[in-house]
Structure 1
Amino acid sequence: MRTLQRTSRWLFVLLATVVLAACATGPQVRTDHDPTANFSQYRTWSFYSPIAMEESGYSTWISDRIKDNVRREMDARGYRYVESSPDLQVNFQGVVQDRTDVWTMPRADTQWFYNYRRKAYVAVPVWYDDTQVSRYREGTLTVDLVDARRNRMVWTGAAIGRVVNKTPEQKMAEVDQAINAIFLQYPHRAATP
């Protein structure tokens, strides 16, 4: 009996650790690229004009933070920032949408009925589906790399995660994490002259 209790405790701790690790992994990242693009020709970059996140005509502290992170990531890959005639232009945008998850869980219960023939209560098993609904907000931060000469997107990365109320400092840390996660999926470096 003691072995069974120790084993069940150990399994519970292992399961809890796996669940917590899954929650702490950060945003889900998806990428795509143009298969006809020749990434070995790109050396310089600048920001696309106008940036999709700043279409309304003004910037925010979040868009400034994203710009700083993009500069750091592009510099780390050997790309040189230039104001005019770049090889690549970087565009980004953020979208927040309301989402709903619906799932069912099979459940079993016992119903008690009085049996007049036996003059006793009888347990009858009952199986049913329990439907759960969860509403949340999902944010998507997308970074696009555009071939400036052809004005054609050649690579895109998107970080997708749940949006919860946080302090500005926590939001900045999430922006940093999202941009880092997106660029971890970018496999190219600047062309050498």
Structure 2
Amino acid sequence: MKLLRLLPLAILVTLTSCSSLKVTSDYDTKASFNQYKTFAFYKKGIDKASVSDLDKKRIMRAIEAELLAKGYTKSGKPDVLVSIFTKSRERINVRNNNAGFGWGWGWGWGYNPWFYGYNNINVNQYTEGTLFIDIIDKNNNELVWQGIGSGALRMKSPEKKEERIKQFVKEILAEYPPGQ
């Protein structure tokens, strides 16, 4: 009976661990981020990203929305250029969920995998995507900030893909500009 009560919790933990997003960022400590007010996309960098043109559009729209929400303005004469880079790799999770119950050592009811139990092996294959967002100072053409987000990519529809990309971008750009 206790196992049945724990089953929903185990499913929730499994689902949230697969959907988590790991985010990190790095920046030039000498850069004055408060001077940056305008942005544009760095076409040469974005063209090199190894995702479909549809996904590039989704990523760029999400970045634009986040930067506009932060008070930046899109401009033909920007203070910063925004570039992206992507990577993906196939991942496999193997979980061995063994449980056995019976009389154990010592007094009372205990754990004994040879007496009674079950063996449940879960194999889960998914694509892990990594999105790099680079902010480049336009005046001196130097990278001043980089945000990186990695997480599972499981999209069965364009709408779900768009939502996942928005989530990636929002969490990455939550750390930009640094110190705010």
Q: Provide the rounded CA distance (Å) in 1 between the counterparts of 2:143 and 2:8.
A: 46
1:55 aligns with 2:48: yes
Q: Provide the rounded CA distance (Å) in 1 between the counterparts of 2:13 and 2:25.
A: 26
Gaps of 5+ in 1: 108-124, 126-131
1:91 aligns with 2:105: no
Q: Which residue does the alignment assign to 1:128? A: none
Contact 2:130/2:150 (<8 A) preserved: yes
AA matched with 1:82: S
Q: Which residue does the alignment assign to 2:152? A: 162
Q: Which residue does the alignment assign to 2:117? A: none
How far residue 32 of structure 1 moved from its aligned partner, in angstroms, is 1.3
- How many residues align structurally? 159
- C-alpha distance after superposition, 1:97-147 (max 9, x if no partner): 23466x797x8xxxxxxxxxxxxxxxxx8xxxxxx9876432111111111
Gaps of 5+ in 2: 99-113, 115-121
1:31 aligns with 2:25: yes
Q: Provide the rounded CA distance (Å) in 1 between the counterparts of 2:33 and 2:64.
A: 18
- Residues 1:88 and 1:80: Cα distance change in structure 2 (over 3 Å): same
Q: Provide the rounded CA distance (Å) in 2 between the counterparts of 1:104 and 1:62.
A: 32
How far residue 39 of structure 1 moved from its aligned partner, in angstroms, is 0.9
CA RMSD, aligned part only?
3.4
Q: Which residue does the alignment assign to 2:171? A: 181
Q: Which residue does the alignment assign to 2:16? A: 21
Q: Provide the rounded CA distance (Å) in 2 between the counterparts of 1:136 and 1:61.
A: 21
How far residue 37 of structure 1 moved from its aligned partner, in angstroms, is 1.4
1:126-137 correspondence runs (5 A): 136-137=126-127
Q: Provide the rounded CA distance (Å) in 1 between the counterparts of 2:95 and 2:167.
A: 33
Q: Provide the rounded CA distance (Å) in 2 between the counterparts of 1:16 and 1:164.
A: 17
Q: Provide the rounded CA distance (Å) in 1 between the counterparts of 2:76 and 2:83.
A: 14
- Report the TM-score, using the length of structure 2 for normalisation: 0.69
- Residues 1:53 and 1:82: Cα distance change in structure 2 (over 3 Å): closer
- Report the TM-score, using the length of structure 1 for normalisation: 0.65
Q: Which residue does the alignment assign to 1:69? A: 62
Q: Provide the rounded CA distance (Å) in 2 between the counterparts of 1:74 and 1:40.
A: 14
Question: Which is greater in Rg?
Answer: 1
